[in-house]
C-alpha cells in the first residue's frame, strides 16, 4: 500500500459554541492541512496520484475558508467549527475530486491536530 500526502494552509477565525473557556471567544488560527490518498497499485508512470492535482484540489477548497469567519459559512452555522469538523468538511468537499482519499488532517497549532478518515 502506498500513501501520498500534500499540505497547504489557510488563515481564519472562529469561536466554539457551547465550549466553556477561551475558545468560546472569537479567535484565529493559521491552519495547516494535510490531504492523504492511498492505493495498492501505481499508475502506468509509477504514481498513486499526481501531487499537482492533489494540491489544486486541496487549495480550491481552502480558498473558501481562507480569511473567513468560519461560523458565518453555511456549513458551520449548523456544525460547530472544531478542528474535527473542519477536517470532515474538507474531506467531504474534496472526495468527489480526488479518488482514493484516505484522510484529511487539520492542525490548529504546531502541537494540536485532528484527522478525519471518512465513513
Q: Which residues are catalytic?
A: 23, 67, 108
Q: Where are the alpha helices (DSSP H) in 15-73?
A: 51-63
Whose grid coordinates read 481552502? 62
For 68, other C-beta atoms within 10 Å of its C-beta total: 16
Q: Pick from 111, 70, 69: which is nearest to 90 by CA?
A: 70
Residue 68, φ and ψ in degrees, nearest 5? -115, 155
92 Cβ neighbours under 8 A, 6+ residues apart: none
Amino acid at each position: 500500500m502506498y500513501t501520498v500526502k500534500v499540505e497547504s494552509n489557510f488563515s481564519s477565525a472562529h469561536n466554539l459554541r457551547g465550549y466553556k473557556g477561551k475558545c468560546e471567544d472569537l479567535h484565529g488560527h493559521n491552519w495547516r492541512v494535510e490531504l492523504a490518498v492511498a492505493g495498492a497499485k501505481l499508475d502506468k508512470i509509477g504514481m498513486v496520484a499526481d501531487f499537482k492535482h492533489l494540491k489544486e484540489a486541496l487549495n480550491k477548497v481552502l480558498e473558501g475558508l481562507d480569511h473567513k469567519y468560519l461560523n458565518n459559512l453555511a456549513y458551520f452555522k449548523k456544525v460547530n467549527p472544531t478542528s474535527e469538523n473542519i477536517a470532515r468538511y474538507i474531506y467531504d468537499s474534496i472526495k468527489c475530486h480526488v479518488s482514493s482519499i484516505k484522510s484529511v488532517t487539520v492542525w490548529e497549532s504546531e502541537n494540536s491536530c485532528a484527522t478525519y478518515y471518512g465513513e
